[in-house]
Structure 1
Amino acid sequence: MTKPICVVLTGAGISAESGIPTFRAEDGLWAGHKIEEVCTPEALKKNRAKVLDFYNERRRNAQAAQPNAAHLVLVELEKAYDVHIITQNVDDLHERAGSKNVLHLHGELNKARSSFDPDYIVPCFDDQKLEDKDENGYPMRPHIVFFGENVPMLPKAEELVKKADIVIVIGTSLQVYPANGLVNEAPSWAKIYLIDPHPNSGFIRQQVEIIAMKAGAGVPKVVNALLK
């Protein structure tokens, strides 16, 4: 018997409860940094060391964090649903929790790629260094989608959402383009849940069930209801 398809869209809110700073909070990741100095192609050209230091710090922070209740309960959902997670997060907490199908829209901290060949991608669990080069001698960079860059995984994400019977949106402000448009790719019959303590459903064209809770409490509530 074919399982119903459940697509889960996750943002910074689900990782925040594991101690990973969000971008948009007043004390968040950007509070001490300017986006244009650490997360743009221009920044990489101007001051590669600063960009690498920023992401090295983020990698260490993410590696010290642990999956929380929201990450863990999504694994339980796989018992009854064909679950696909599309995350804006660059940490690996979903994978460490045990989720099988995870698509990272904005890249991954634990990978590095060539600044010349975007298909040359290697594991990266330690600090990146200025002297790191690809097999042809070109400098390596974080495997992160910077502001102003294309999102190569977006078409695959859109195809997943178009097939969804259920869409669960967790811990995202729905303000970051183009990820904020994904939920509107869902079929008209799909059931949509939005879990966020400060939900912004104005961008969603379809009817949505709002759970105004943090991920750690809201996700188990929805998952338990879906598994009944």
Structure 2
Amino acid sequence: MPATAPGAVLLSGIVGSTAYGLAHAGSDIDRLGLFAAPTEGFHGLHHPAESQVTTAPDRTLHEAAKWCRLALSCNPTATELVWLPEDLYEVRTPLGDELMAIRRSFLSARAVRNAYLGYATQQFRKLLTRDTTEATTRARAAKHARHLVRLLEQAVHLHETGHNLVRLPDPGRVRELGERIADEPAVAERLLAAANERLDRPGALPDRPDERPAEAWLHRVRAAHYTPAATPAP
């Protein structure tokens, strides 16, 4: 566990473009993880910090309860932590493995639609507001377009199979499509419409997540990280 961690790191890995297969020379290495703050820290007026973000290295750690809340809303970035390819995990613990075992219970059709399409729409809006005369902005637009395509493909795959496809099967195609969309944003409109249509069909996900496994897991985390105060000597 890194010395700067705010608690016991339960699960951590490399996420972002590296995980998707979209990284290139010079791409940042992004890390995401979750930790368990000492349980006694929740007993007073001020609770432990819910997140820790560092830039050297680029790493975000969420406290276990916050991560669960994000995952229950199907936040795309948080969710991918428990669906990474095996080779991208850097910290795994028994409690982290338990969380991975209940990962499908966090998913729901409504939240996947809201979160993934919401993020994809944000990327589309950024495409429409860029200054097309700047080369650096053109490169940024292609990046937004790649992530738009990636989010839509992940959303549809989640909806139809109940499995989160983090590592894209054809990243070259996604890169090429991103370049095309950067020059012709209307292509993205068609992709958004097609994804909406597929998400309207019956899928593999329930309408609402099952919170019970997450609640039980958090109770195990709190029990494992509780150190009773020492009894004063008489």
Q: Structure 2 length as normaliser, TM-score?
A: 0.25
Query: Quick check: which one's helix share is greater?
Result: 2
Q: Structure 1 length as normaliser, TM-score?
A: 0.25
Query: Quick check: which one's strand share is greater?
Result: 1
